[in-house]
Chain A
Amino acid sequence: MKVQRFDPLVLAELKELLEEEFPELITTFIWDSQQRLALLALAIEAADAGSTRMSAHSLKGSSINIGFAQFAQLCDEIEQTAKIGKLDNCRALLSALLLEAEWVFDHLEILIKEL
């Protein structure tokens, strides 16, 4: 399923909501996501289906809230794939997710600098 890569309206709303805390939210998100991506990679490496699901689920939740739908969609696919135990398939999905993550982080870092 093709989804919109990200929804700029969500970020605009968050900016309005958090005001001066907005940059902190973005840096927190980036830092937190990087940690979780690392954990996710480790879990897939170790063929730990439970941890894989957990990390993917968590990344999915936080990325939806920031408005990055495609990133969330990839997380969801990993979560579902881990759920049926196909850890091998998760490796391929992880590469796609890491690529998407780079795009997301770049996008966000530019956004902060522009503030």
Chain B
Amino acid sequence: MAPALRILIADDNESDRMILRSIVRKEGHEVILAANGEEAIRLFWEHQPDLILLDVIMPVLDGLSVAKELRSKLAEDYVPIIFLTSLQDPESLAKCLDSGGDDFLSKPYNRVILKAKIKAFGRMRSMHEKLQVHNRQMLIEQQVAKTIFDNVAHSGCLDLANITHSLSPLSVFNGDTVLAERKPDGGMHLFLGDFTGHGLPAAIGAMPLAEIFYGMTAKGFAMEEVLREINSKLRDILPVGVFCCGCFVELDFYEKRAKIWLGGLPDIVCFRAESQSIETFRSTDLPLGVLEANKFQPTLLDVFMADGDELFIWSDGIIESRNEDGELFGEDRLLAIFQPASVNTLFDSILSAVDRFVGEAGADDDLTLLSVKMASMDVLGLPDLDNRRGSLVGPQDWEFSYTLGALTLRGFNPLPIVLNIITEVEGLRGLSGQLYTLLSELYSNALEHGVLSLPSSLKFSHDGFSAYYTEREKRLAALIDGEVEIRVKHRPEADGGVLEVTIIDSGQGFDHQQFLARDFPEDGYSGRGLPLINAICEDFYYNPTGNAVTALLRWPLAP
């Protein structure tokens, strides 16, 4: 036996009401009677029936108006409406369905047919109710998933002044993600990703991506290492056909350089503040998660960016927005927005242009846009890499020595590992930004001027800088002999400790006096770490040969 329903009968004929009431009651349902449309609406809200039998022509308010009124207010709840009618013409019957009715019952009422219809619509209503329960459950789950995702993905530095981004509120389920984090050396990593597909599969891939991005960036890994790790992780976990188009940017605020990797995303734009012109960069690489780890060779573009120059990165959602005629927004419209006059509001101009274009058609919520400006380090400040572990114990008295041979020196960056070991000391964790800069300054001096014997005089202009790096790569690739040893030692003190870092290279030694004597050059590209070294180190000295340097740091730092 079908479950009993509560059924509202609205008919202005008393005899008809009596007949319907008898039929419906005999089937075991509860009956509520209304004699006109207005009463029907009042009783509907009062009794919340499961189904309505509604006469079309009634005084005060006719059945069509009742149906319209109820449908407009019942957004999610589905209450079937069966019109009672002696109308026969197709037009009138069609009107009943247009107004929100689900079916008709013609006079004279047939008990068998009415019974069958009530049963069928009762079933539909209960299916709808189940669907609603599932829907609500799904929404709750999505909210929880979004919260978790936000905690993982948005823990970075997206709120910094030089970054602007737009991401749909439910972007976690459209597969778009935007990440940004400071590097320990003061630089920054940014990532805009667009997973294929929508919904859960896309969201799931974004989680390990964000974890790897933030984890490795904070530990000082270089862009290429982070990219490789993300690629191989995604390749491992994602099913075939799901991958992540993305743009990875590494900014160096000291040297005013951007390294850009683009895989499968639309061209990105660099707006040059001084010339008010744009430059575009094209993707040449495959998206992340497609290639096996050993076949993944990211192409990194090296771009000089003056302060104020701005990079614009977007997912294809913007270019593929459609207006009411189904026309694509397209790249031409997008690039046309970059007019000199609109420079201060470019970001908003893009969004509002897409918005206007899409118009009533409604955006698919896929408009992900990210822009980042080259800025002065004075504006940004050093990264604040918090100690999030809250543990007070840790290694206190320890030392190690790590010697890197020629083959290792060619392509391996030991600093993240070394920094990791050092920042196991809780008191040093807050200094990891400064420590990284200290280590990288000492290490690159040892490697470049020591092992590779590169003269620092090579880098005095932009050209010189790139010449320097070309030479560096050349000598590194050919390196057969040589090594760098990193010695680190820590001893506890009353309420802190002393860290001693010594770096010894196999080179001839270089004129460290000159290095130490140089002031911080306004426009220079080397020696930027010296003021920092002076600021945090209690002692700092080279051996007489100039191939071993020691830095002594006592913490907590004197205020």
Cα(A60)–Cα(B107), bound, Å: 9
Contact A32-B22, Cβ < 8 Å, known A61-B86, A64-B86, A65-B109: no
Q: What residues of B have a CB within 8 angstroms of the CB of A21 in the complex?
A: 18, 22
Q: Are B111 and A17 in contact (CB under 8 A)?
A: yes
Give the segment of A23-31, A41-49, A93-101 that binds chain B: A23-31
Q: Are B14 and A28 in contact (CB under 8 A)?
A: yes
Q: Which residue of B lies closest to A32 (CB)?
A: B14
Q: Is the CB of B19 within 8 A of A10?
A: no
Given contacts A57-B86, A61-B107, 17 further A-B contacts (CB under 8 A): A14-B19, A17-B19, A17-B26, A21-B22, A24-B18, A25-B15, A32-B14, A58-B13, A58-B57, A60-B86, A61-B55, A61-B86, A62-B13, A62-B16, A64-B107, A65-B19, A66-B15
**Interchain CB contact (< 8 A) of A65 among B15, B57, B59:** B15
User: Does A37 sit within 8 A of B, measured CB to CB?
Assistant: no
Top 6 A-B pairs, shortest CB-CB distance: A29-B15, A62-B13, A64-B107, A61-B86, A64-B108, A65-B108
The answer to whether A28 and B15 touch (CB under 8 A), given A10-B108, A61-B86, A64-B107, is yes
* Chain A, residue nearest B55 (CB): A61
- Which residues of the other chain, B, contact A104 by a CB distance below 8 angstroms? none
Nearest CB of A to B105, in Å: 11
Q: When chains A and B are docked, how far (Å) is the Cα of A10 from the Cα of B111? A: 11
Which residues of B lie under 8 Å from residue A28 when comparing CB positions? 14-15, 18
Q: Tell me the B residues contacting A by CB distance below 8 Å.
A: 12-16, 18-19, 22-23, 26, 55, 57, 59, 86, 107-109, 111
Separation of A66 and B14 alpha carbons in the complex (Å): 12
Residues of A at under 8 Å CB distance from B? 10, 13-14, 17-18, 21, 24-25, 28-29, 32, 54, 57-58, 60-62, 64-67
How far, in angstroms, from A57 to B12 measured CA to CA in the complex? 11
Residue in chain B with minimal CB distance to A14? B19
Residues of B within 8 A of A14 (CB): 19
Residues of A with C-beta under 8 A to B55 = 61
The docked-state distance in angstroms from the alpha carbon of A58 to that of B23 is: 20
| A3 smallest CB distance to B (angstroms) | 13
Contact partner of A18 (CB less than 8 A), chosen from B14, B16, B19, B59, is B19
Q: List 28 A-B contacts (CB under 8 A).
A: A10-B108, A14-B19, A17-B19, A17-B22, A17-B23, A18-B18, A18-B22, A21-B18, A21-B22, A24-B18, A25-B15, A25-B19, A32-B13, A54-B57, A57-B86, A58-B12, A58-B13, A61-B13, A61-B86, A62-B13, A62-B16, A64-B107, A65-B15, A65-B19, A65-B107, A65-B109, A66-B15, A67-B108
* Bound CA–CA A26/B86 (angstroms): 20
Known contacts A17-B26, A32-B13, A64-B86; is A25 also within 8 Å of B18 by CB? Answer: yes
Contacts of A17 in B (CB 8 A): 19, 22-23, 26, 111
Given A24-B18, A29-B15, A62-B16, are A57 and B57 also a contact pair (CB < 8 Å)? yes
User: Given that A17-B22, A18-B22 are contacting pairs, would A65 and B16 also be in contact in the complex, using a CB cutoff of 8 Å?
Assistant: yes
Q: What CA separation (Å) do A61 and B106 show in the bound complex? A: 9
Q: Which residues of B contact A32 (CB under 8 A)?
A: 13-15
A39 CB, min distance to chain B CBs, angstroms:
11
B23 nearest in chain A by CB position: A17
Residues of B within 8 A of A60 (CB): 86
C-alpha spacing A18/B12, complex, angstroms: 19
How many whole Å from A63's CB to the nearest CB in chain B?
Answer: 9
C-alpha spacing A61/B14, complex, angstroms: 11
Q: Which residues of B contact A10 (CB under 8 A)?
A: 108
Nearest residue (CB) in B for A26 is B15
Contacts of A25 in B (CB 8 A): 15, 18-19
What's the minimum C-beta distance from A6 to chain B, rounded to whole angstroms? 12
CB neighbours of A58 from chain B (8 A): 12-13, 57
| Distance A17 CA – B111 CA, assembled complex (angstroms) | 9
* Residues from chain A with Cβ under 8 Å of B109 in the complex: 65
Q: Which residues of B contact A18 (CB under 8 A)?
A: 18-19, 22
Complexed CA–CA distance, A17 and B16 (Å): 13
- How many angstroms between the C-alpha atoms of A18 and B14 in the bound complex? 14
